[in-house]
């Protein structure tokens, strides 16, 4: 594993060689101190660039698949929702498959082939074929033979897709155990999103270490130069969104590209806010925000 800080500012990002690297931990230190107003400004600038990128994908007849993986509550669905909000629906799709049928379970790759991007299309996968390497293996939903078969075949399968013109970006949203536990508790106690909690979520928390083992195996065996795993710290969902946007935009050269450098934000900006038990707290310092965040109401 290695860390790349501010990689997206390299003008030849798309041509950087990642060979011999197990994965990329993508991090922009300045984002750790961003406040709500600057987040909205930065997000807007990056979403404008993403629309430019989509127009290029359509015009140049590209096929782009963006995979989001991670533990339950990592923010996969929310991140995709932000990224896709202003994209042209006709040329953008979300793929979020449910429980596989017995036939789909036996023909794993075929299950996803029919959902891959068409010409001129950008497709986001909210969990993907890597469900077999993570959730299914952790929860015992697939056999040992099915797991081994997947791990042996997935890289050649992806390489064949790339040879046929499908480009793949693979994001893993990483969260700490305490963060997941806190988010699950917030959801359970929220009258708005309690329905998001399933029995699987609770079981997954108990199988944290098993999931970690399979995650590391996935990184080790399925990250390669053309499609490395990009690990984003998702303990703060907003920061994860900005990192995902910047990595995607930095991976392609498209007309009119104006990818702005993030400003140097400081911890002295007193513009943080949150709500605890329906009581708003505004004009907080960064340190105050960090202390109180654990008690904040579910969003």
Residue 23 backbone phi and psi in degrees, to 5: -170, 175
Pair of tokens at residue 280: 């708003």
**CA distance to 79, 180, 181, 199, per residue, from 202 (Å):** 22, 10, 9, 5
Looking at the structure of the chain, the number of domains it has is 2
pLDDT at 237: 94
Q: What pLDDT is attached to residue 13? A: 28
State whether 222 and 284 are in the same domain: no
Among 169, 152, 192, 19, residue whose Cα is nearest residue 79 = 169
- 29 Cβ contact partners less than 8 Å away, ≥ 6 residues apart: 5, 6
Report how far residue 219's alpha carbon sits from residue 89's, in angstroms, rounded to the nearest whole number.
Answer: 32
Distances (CA, A) of 253 to 160, 212, 243: 23, 35, 18
Rounded mean pLDDT, 98-102 = 95
Calpha distance 267→286 (Å, rounded): 5
Residues 67 and 183 in one domain: yes
What is the SS3 assignment for 175? coil
Same domain, 64 and 155: yes
Domain match, 202 and 276 both: no
List the domain range (segments joined by +) for residue 283: 266-299
**Residues in a beta bridge with 94:** 124
Q: How far apart are CA 126 and CA 123, in angstroms?
A: 10
Residue 117 and residue 230 in one domain: yes
pLDDT tier at 286, thresholds 50, 70, 90: low
| b (16+ CB within 10 A) / e for 216-247 | eebbeebbbeebbbbbbbbbbbbbbbbbbbbb
Q: Are residues 45 and 83 in the same domain?
A: yes
**pLDDT score for 238:** 94
Q: Report the CATH number that the domain containing residue 9 is assigned in CATH.
A: 3.40.50.300
Determine the pLDDT at residue 157.
Answer: 98
- Least confident range from 30-39, 131-140, 238-247, 288-297: namely 288-297
Same domain for 63 and 140? yes
C-alpha distances (whole Å) from 45 to each of 29, 51, 79, 245 are 19, 10, 16, 10
Q: Are residues 113 and 181 in the same domain?
A: yes
Note whether 97 and 237 are same-domain residues: yes
**Tokens found for residue 172:** 């893993």
Instruction: Residue 209: count other Cβ atoms within 10 Å of its Cβ.
Output: 9
> Which tens digit of pLDDT belongs to each residue from 102-120?
999 999 999 999 999 999 9
- Write down the pTM of the prediction: 0.81
Which pLDDT score, from 0 to 100, does residue 289 have?
64
- Residue predicted with more confidence, 25 or 297: 25
Both 289 and 173 in one domain: the answer is: no
Q: In the prediction, which pLDDT does 163 show?
A: 97
Residues of the chain above pLDDT 90, percent: 65
Predicted confidence at residue 277, as pLDDT, reads 77
Same domain for 207 and 103: yes
- Whether 270 and 161 map to the same domain: the answer is no
């Amino acid at each position: 594993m290695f860390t790349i800080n501010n990689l997206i500012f390299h003008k030849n990002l798309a041509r950087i060689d990642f060979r011999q690297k197990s994965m990329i931990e993508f991090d922009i230190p300045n984002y750790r101190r961003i406040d709500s107003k600057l987040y909205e400004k930065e997000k807007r600038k990056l979403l404008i660039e993403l629309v430019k990128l989509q127009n290029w994908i359509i015009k140049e007849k590209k096929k782009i698949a963006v995979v989001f993986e991670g533990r339950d509550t990592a923010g996969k669905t929310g991140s995709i929702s932000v990224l896709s909000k202003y994209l042209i629906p006709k040329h953008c799709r979300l793929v979020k498959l449910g429980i596989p049928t017995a036939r789909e379970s036996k023909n794993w790759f075929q299950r996803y082939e029919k959902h891959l991007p068409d010409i001129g299309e950008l497709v986001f996968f909210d969990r993907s074929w890597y469900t077999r390497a993570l959730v299914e293996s952790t929860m015992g939903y697939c056999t040992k033979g099915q797991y081994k078969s997947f791990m042996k075949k997935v890289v050649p399968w992806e390489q064949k897709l790339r040879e046929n013109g499908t480009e793949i970006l693979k994001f893993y949203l990483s969260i700490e155990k305490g963060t997941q536990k806190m988010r699950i508790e917030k959801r359970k106690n929220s009258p708005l999103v309690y329905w998001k909690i399933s029995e699987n979520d609770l079981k997954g928390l108990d199988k944290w270490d098993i999931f970690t083992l399979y995650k590391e195996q996935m990184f080790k065996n399925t990250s390669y130069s053309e499609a490395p795993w990009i690990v984003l710290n998702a303990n703060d969902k907003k920061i994860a969104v900005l990192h995902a946007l910047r990595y995607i935009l930095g991976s392609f050269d498209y007309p009119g590209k104006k990818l702005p450098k993030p400003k140097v934000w400081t911890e002295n900006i007193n513009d943080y806010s949150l709500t605890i038990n329906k009581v708003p707290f505004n004009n907080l310092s960064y340190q105050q925000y960090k202390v109180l965040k654990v008690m904040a109401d579910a969003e």
